[in-house]
Amino acid sequence: GLDPASKREVQRFLEELRAERGTTILLTTHDMAEAERLAARIGFLARGRLVAEGSASALKRRAGAPDLEEAFIRLTGETFSEPEEVV
């Protein structure tokens, strides 16, 4: 991952690129706040398959969830987990 300042810089660049050129950008992230901020459409993958797709508000509505992270959990049946420490 990037440090917070670099992450903001990359996000700003992506927003400018999309606004200036109207181009499609494929962004992969586990950061639901980042996805909600940057993406017009979001896809949830589970076990290598697309299981849900739509705007952040549509995904939350479909899942009956208060936030995008909870929508992910409900629509995919998966949870976010911390990486295991290798000893």
* Per-residue model confidence as pLDDT tens digits over 68-84: 999 999 999 987 665 55
Residue 79, token pair as written in the block: 């949870």
Report the pLDDT averaged over residues 44-65.
Answer: 97
Rounded to whole angstroms, the Cα distance separating 54 from 48 reads 18
Q: Are strands 42-46 and 49-54 parallel, antiparallel or unpaired?
A: antiparallel
Q: Residue type for 12, please?
A: R
Least confident interval from 11-15, 30-34, 70-74, 79-83 = 79-83
- Label residue 10 exposed, middle or buried (CB < 10 Å: 0-12, 13-18, 19+): middle
Q: What pLDDT was estimated at residue 72?
A: 96
**In this predicted model, which residue has the larger pLDDT, 23 or 5?**
5
Q: What pLDDT was estimated at residue 23?
A: 87
Rounded to whole angstroms, the Cα distance separating 63 from 43 reads 13
Q: What pLDDT was estimated at residue 69?
A: 95
Q: Does 87 score more than 70 pLDDT?
A: no
Cβ–Cβ under 8 Å, residues 80 and 86: no
